[in-house]
Amino acid sequence: MKLNPKNGIDSLLFGMKQKDVVERYGQPTKQFEDDEGNVIYLYFDQRLRLTFYEEEEFRLGYIITSNPEVELLDKKLIGAEVEVLKKELPFKSWEVERFDATENHFNESNWLILQSEFGTVIRVEIGALIDDVKDEFQWKFKS
């Protein structure tokens, strides 16, 4: 399962509608709405959490995974030592937010979060980018 910065994960591209995702992955294991009216799909087998933004015509805008097969630039993410991984990646700007035993390592230029616990990556989050000039999402999926 390849993470494609700025684009999505695997065959999932930012901007897809729910029907596009279902065509590729089938029905989600679980589906619900969050407090903001966004639709969330959970795929247990793939260990994916997909967010479709209500304010963006329910386009896929955020992906969270803890899939042990997720890779970025041929590097496995889950289970990697976060500080070693960050040095191996070409992204040099990281903001770190600490919560007890977990840390979020955020790279804004790729809207990528590596969440670590005890120094090991346990979860990856990636979001669609927003064009600063136009102030709108840069959707990668063309329907």
How many whole angstroms from its chain centre is CA 62? 5
The label of the residue with tokens 């294991």 reads 29
CA torsion, ordered 93, 98, 101, 104, to nearest 10 deg: -40
Q: Which residues have C-beta within 8 Å of that of residue 3, sequence separation ≥ 6?
A: 9, 65, 70, 71, 72, 77, 112, 124, 126
Phi first, then psi: give them for residue 99, nearest 5 degrees.
-140, 105
- For the entire predicted model, the pTM comes to 0.95
What are the tens digits of pLDDT across the range 17-75?
999 999 999 999 999 999 999 999 999 999 999 999 999 999 999 999 999 999 999 99
| Contact partners, residue 73, CB within 8 Å, separation at least 6 | 89, 90
In whole angstroms, give the CA distance from residue 84 to residue 119. 10
SS3 98: strand
CA distances from 99 to 13, 96, 115 (A): 30, 10, 10
Give the pLDDT confidence of 83-117 residue by residue, as tens digits: 999 999 999 899 999 999 999 999 999 999 999 99
Are the CB atoms for 105 and 86 separated by under 8 Å? Answer: yes
